[in-house]
Amino acid sequence: MATPTLEKTSGTAPSADEHLVTVTFRIRRFNPEEAAEAFWQDFEIRIDPKERVLDALHQIKWELDGTLTFRRSCAHGICGSDAMRINGKNRLACKTLIKDIVGLKNGVGTKPISVEPIKGLTVLKDLVVDMDPFFQAYRDVMPFLITKGNEPTRERLQSAADRERFDDTTKCILCAACTSSCPVFWSDGQYFGPAAIVNAHRFIFDSRDEGAEQRLEILNDRDGVWRCRTVFNCTDACPRGIEVTKAIQEVKQALITRRF
Amino acid sequence: MNKAIETTDPADATYGPDHPAPVIEPPRARTGRSPRTSRTNYELYGWVFMRMSGILLVVLVITHLLIQLVLDGGVSKVSFAFVAGRWASPFWQAWDLIMLWLAMLHGGNGLRTIINDYAERDTTRFWLKMLLYTATVFTVLLGTLVIFTFDPNIS
Do A147 and A246 share a domain, yes or no? yes
B117-136 pLDDT per residue, tens: 888 888 998 999 999 999 99
Which CATH number does the domain housing residue B64 bear? 1.20.1300.10
* The pLDDT of residue B111: 96
* The pLDDT of residue A156: 92
Do A111 and A227 share a domain, yes or no? no
Task: Provide the domain limits for residue B59.
Answer: 42-149
Task: Provide the domain limits for residue A59.
Answer: 13-128
CB distance A56 to A45 below 8 Å:
yes
* The pLDDT of residue B92: 93
Residue A7 lies in a domain: no
Between positions 108 and 137 of B, the ones with CB within 8 A of A are 113, 116-118, 120
Total domain count, chain A: 2
Residue B8 lies in a domain: no
Considering only CB atoms, which chain B residues are within 8 Å of A188?
A: 27-28, 116-117, 120
* CB-closest option in A1, A137, A255 to B44: A255
Do A172 and A78 share a domain, yes or no? no
Residue A4 lies in a domain: no
Residue range A252-258: mean pLDDT, rounded: 94
A4-47 pLDDT per residue, tens: 555 554 445 567 788 899 999 999 999 999 889 999 999 999 99
Give the residue from A83, A108, A128 where a domain finishes: A128
Q: Do B8 and A39 touch (CB under 8 A)?
A: yes
Do A106 and A208 share a domain, yes or no? no
| CB of A2 less than 8 A from some CB of B | yes
Which CATH number does the domain housing residue A162 bear? 1.10.1060.10
Do A71 and A153 share a domain, yes or no? no
Residue A50 lies in a domain: yes
What band does B32 get if pLDDT is binned at 50, 70 and 90? confident
Residues A116, A87: Cα–Cα separation, whole Å: 8
A211-224 pLDDT per residue, tens: 999 999 999 988 89
Do A157 and A217 share a domain, yes or no? yes
A157-169 pLDDT per residue, tens: 999 999 999 999 9
Total domain count, chain B: 1
CB distance B16 to A33 below 8 Å:
yes
Query: What Cα–Cα distance (Å) separates residue A181 from each residue in A39, A85, A131, A255, B117?
Result: 21, 9, 14, 25, 15
In this predicted model, which residue has the larger pLDDT, B72 or B139? B139
Give the residue from A128, A163, A184 where a domain finishes: A128
* The pLDDT of residue A141: 93
Report the SS3 class of residue B117.
Answer: helix
Task: For residue A222, give the chain B residue with the closest CA.
Answer: B43
pLDDT of B75 > 90? The answer is no
Query: What Cα–Cα distance (Å) separates residue A68 from each residue in A65, A132, A199, A248, A250?
Result: 6, 22, 32, 36, 41
Average pLDDT of chain A, as a whole number = 92
Do A137 and A245 share a domain, yes or no? yes
* The pLDDT of residue B5: 56
Give the residue from A128, A157, A184 where a domain finishes: A128
B36 Cβ neighbours under 8 A, 6+ residues apart: none
Considering only CB atoms, which chain B residues are within 8 Å of A122?
A: 23-26, 29
C-beta neighbour count of A199 within 10 angstroms:
24
Residue B11 lies in a domain: no
What band does A3 get if pLDDT is binned at 50, 70 and 90? low
pLDDT of B20 > 90? The answer is no
Q: Fill in the amino acid letter for A165.
A: R
Do A207 and A184 share a domain, yes or no? yes
pLDDT of B49 > 80? The answer is yes
In this predicted model, which residue has the larger pLDDT, A217 or B10? A217
What Rg value do the Cα atoms of chain B yield, rounded? 27
Residues B40, A164: Cα–Cα separation, whole Å: 32
Shortest alpha-carbon distance between residue B71 and chain A (Å)? 37
Residues A207, B37: Cα–Cα separation, whole Å: 25
Residue A106 lies in a domain: yes
Query: What Cα–Cα distance (Å) separates residue B6 from each residue in A84, A94, A198, A218?
Result: 21, 25, 40, 47
Residue % of chain B over a pLDDT of 70 = 88
A91-142 pLDDT per residue, tens: 999 999 999 999 999 889 999 999 999 999 999 999 999 999 999 999 999 9
Do A201 and A112 share a domain, yes or no? no
Q: Do A189 and B43 touch (CB under 8 A)?
A: no
pLDDT of B89 > 70? The answer is yes
Residue B48 lies in a domain: yes
Shortest alpha-carbon distance between residue A13 and chain B (Å)? 21
| CB of A186 less than 8 A from some CB of B | yes
* CB-closest option in A31, A189, A259 to B30: A189
* The pLDDT of residue A16: 76
What band does B36 get if pLDDT is binned at 50, 70 and 90? low
Specify which residues A128 forms β-bridges with.
Answer: A125
Query: What Cα–Cα distance (Å) separates residue A49 from each residue in A23, A53, A70, B121?
Result: 9, 9, 21, 46
A196 Cβ neighbours under 8 A, 6+ residues apart: A137, A138, A140, A141, A179
Residue A2 lies in a domain: no
What band does B1 get if pLDDT is binned at 50, 70 and 90? very low
* The pLDDT of residue B72: 80
CB-count exposure of residue B155 (10 Å: 0-12, 13-18, 19+): exposed
Length in residues, chain A: 260
Residue B145 lies in a domain: yes
Do A141 and A220 share a domain, yes or no? yes
Q: Do B120 and A259 touch (CB under 8 A)?
A: no
Residue range B29-47: mean pLDDT, rounded: 80
Which CATH number does the domain housing residue A26 bear? 3.10.20.30
Residue % of chain A over a pLDDT of 70 = 94
Residue range A194-217: mean pLDDT, rounded: 95
Q: What is the ipTM of this complex?
A: 0.78
Residues B110, B118: Cα–Cα separation, whole Å: 12
Residue range A205-211: mean pLDDT, rounded: 94
Residue range A195-203: mean pLDDT, rounded: 96
A47-97 pLDDT per residue, tens: 999 999 999 999 999 999 999 999 999 999 999 999 999 999 999 999 999
Task: For residue A130, give the chain B residue with the closest CA.
Answer: B25
